[in-house]
Amino acid sequence: MGTSRHAKFIFITGGVVSSLGKGLAAASVGALLENRGLKVTFIKLDPYINVDPGTMNPLQHGEVFVTDDGAETDLDLGHYERFTNARIGKGNNFTTGQIYDAVITKERRGDYLGGTVQVIPHITDEIKSRVLAAADADVDIVLVEIGGTVGDIESLPFLESIRQMLVELGPQNAVNCHMTLVPYIPTAGELKTKPTQHSVRELREIGIQPQFLLCRADRPLDDDIKRKIALFCNVPQDHVITCADAETIYEVPLLLHEQGLDDKLAKALNIWSRGANLKAWREIVRRVKEPKSEVTIAIVGKYVDLTDSYKSLNEALRHGGLDNECRVNLRFVDSEKIEETGADKQLAGAHAILVPGGFGTRGVEGKILAIQYARERSVPFFGICLGLQCAVIEHARNVCNLETAMSREFDKDARHCVIDLMPDQENVVDKGATMRLGSDPCRLEPGSLAHKIYGKPLIDERHRHRYEVNNEYRETLVAGGLILSGINPERDLVEIVERADHPWFLGCQFHPEFKSKPTAPHPLFASFVAAAMTYARGT
């Protein structure tokens, strides 16, 4: 192991319905193999035509996960990073749109010498080359998740590509794990295997015989059910793995390990490694199931109808709870309802308030009212990206007496645009080119809350935004009592704001949730949850 030519591949497909948890399964398998001393990486193949998820509505697709190198990716890549130490970047997620764009560009450039360009071999070769490129790094295992479900017309080129790779790489170098649904029918009083049988038949019709079946169900599968599935799907019975509902997603690696999945994968791929050391995962699950305290945190946003819109954020808050052995109850509050009924009614009983990122003017005034509520009542407040910008607007309006303070994003003609595009961005026609994406440095003010939390003077965090705190108003904001405790040393831009007259009030322009793990909670979230616990004890 250790060189690219020895990398092994695990292809994870899904059938019956979407949202079965392929990404979570892939992340859990990766965690098990990593804990056996193997180096893993991941690829997510997305069948949609969009070039990337960056312009997609979070209510349709969930959050956009951002990597250190500035890639806007599918949220499953967040699972990969949270569960393992894999370094995820632009080469770990690609869509049908990117594949076709690359092939058409090559055709226009004459790379195919005037030949007829077809799905096979041109599209499939492009897919295979990108998958194989991930093995160029010094990795032992490449886990490849194919989005969508078997039978979708969009995913056929991806499935054909992995069919070819399974043959070309050979049986000890690549396996397919197929995830299916085994539903329980209450009126019949039993689990039904037919959806799994149909899904596997569909997969076999395109030339892929799964070696392992990951069966999603609301309860464990007994031996009779496994025997039936194995018989009809041509899979060894001990390769039929139950993926039953768990109390916490961080229990999934343990449940798969109990069924020997990592040992069976290692045997199928002819891998020699130590056994998995899962002590840290067992401690995480213990803390989830046996918390010593409990707090309620209000998340004030406009995408609250789909909590996957804030997937990394939700998990980072739970990680902060793990660090404090505290159960964090998340209360999602629609910021537009705050505009309608007031902050008192919507936020009463919350031990802390978080305003996350977002785009567009809808619900912004409700977020500003929530921040005013937190400031005036000394409720712990955490603002992320747009949350920081709203905190600056609230401070400018209600403390600095700039009553018309606003962001250029929401009112281009506002008198006091305390949040604005930087001068070098104002005339850029392609607004996508003005996005600040990926990791950037931030220097912390000595003695500040941020400095105490991080314990070091210089940090790097991931960004995804277009507008910044307007430097022309920095003196006014500081004179009103706002502390600019984090500054980008390369661009001289505000990264973190605080209040000295508040027990815990912090806004950051970056997205710290993208770097939080259950095994290493992000310090900002750990400190925020601790502040919520202190507030709860005083109420």
Q: What 3-state class would DSSP assign to 199?
A: helix
Range of the domain at 305: 291-538
**CATH number for the domain that contains residue 496:** 3.40.50.880
Q: Say how far apart CA 139 and CA 71 lie, in whole Å.
A: 21
Where does the pLDDT of residue 304 fall: very low under 50, low under 70, confident under 90, or very high at 90 and above? Answer: low
Instruction: Using the 3D structure, point to which of 283, 312, 329 is the last residue of a domain.
Output: 283
What pLDDT is recorded for position 429? 40
Residue 337 and residue 212 in one domain: no
What distance in Å separates the CA atoms of residue 368 and residue 376, rounded to the nearest whole number? 12
- Residue burial 129-141, b: 16+ Cβ < 10 Å; e: rest: ebbbebbeeebbb
Residues 486-501, mean pLDDT to the nearest whole number: 96
Separation between Cα atoms, residue 18 and residue 39, nearest integer Å: 29
Mean pLDDT over each residue of the chain, to the nearest integer: 91
Residue 226 corresponds to which tokens in the numbers above?
């496994």
CATH code where residue 201 lies? 3.40.50.300
Q: Output the pLDDT for position 348.
A: 94
Whose structure tokens read 């979570």?
Answer: 24
Q: Do 17 and 70 meet the contact criterion of CB atoms below 8 Å apart?
A: no
Given 234, 251, 283, the domain boundary residue is 283
Task: State the pLDDT confidence band at 4, using cuts at 50, 70 and 90.
Answer: very low
Q: Would you state the pLDDT for residue 306?
A: 59
Q: State the pTM of this model.
A: 0.91
Instruction: Clarify whether residues 253 and 333 are in a common domain.
Output: no
Write down the catalytic residue from 326, 385, 442, 508: 385
Same domain? For 95 and 221 the reply is yes
Q: Are residues 211 and 340 in the same domain?
A: no
The verdict on whether 417 is a catalytic residue reads: no
Is 513 in the active site?
yes
Among the residue ranges 209-213, 236-240, 285-289, 341-345, the one predicted with the least confidence is 341-345
Q: Is 385 a catalytic residue?
A: yes
Tokens of 341: 């009924």
The answer on 90 and 24 residing in a single domain is yes
Per-residue pLDDT for 58 more than 80?
no
Using one digit for the tens of pLDDT, what is the confidence trace for 401-455? Answer: 999 999 999 988 889 999 999 765 554 444 444 688 999 999 999 999 999 999 9
| Domain count within the chain | 2
What ranges make up the beta strands (E) of 236-336?
A: 240-244, 293-301, 326-334
d(CA 237, CA 182): 15
Distance of CA 157 to the CA centre of its chain: 25
Domain check: are 185 and 318 in the same one? no
Domain boundary among 234, 253, 283: 283
**CA 447 to CA 467: how far, in whole Å?**
27
pLDDT digits (tens, 9 = 90+) for 343-372: 999 999 999 999 998 777 778 999 999 999
DSSP 177-190: EEEEE--EETTTTE
Q: Identity (one letter) of the amino acid at 168? A: E
Q: Do 248 and 301 have their domain in common?
A: no
Do residues 212 and 359 share a domain?
no
Looking at the fold, whether 161 and 232 belong to one and the same domain comes out as yes
Residues 92 and 170 in one domain: yes
328 and 259 in a common domain:
no
Q: CA-CA distance, 157 to 256, in Å (whole number)?
A: 30
* C-alpha–C-alpha distance, residues 65 and 52, integer Å: 11
Look at residue 15 and tell me whether its pLDDT is greater than 60.
yes
pLDDT at 49: 87
Spot the catalytic one: 319, 451, 502, 511: 511
Looking at the structure, do residues 272 and 297 belong to the same domain, yes or no?
no
Cβ atoms of 215 and 48 within 8 Å: the answer is no
How far is Cα 213 from Cα 229, in angstroms, rounded to an integer?
Answer: 9
**Tokens encoding 511:** 């997205």
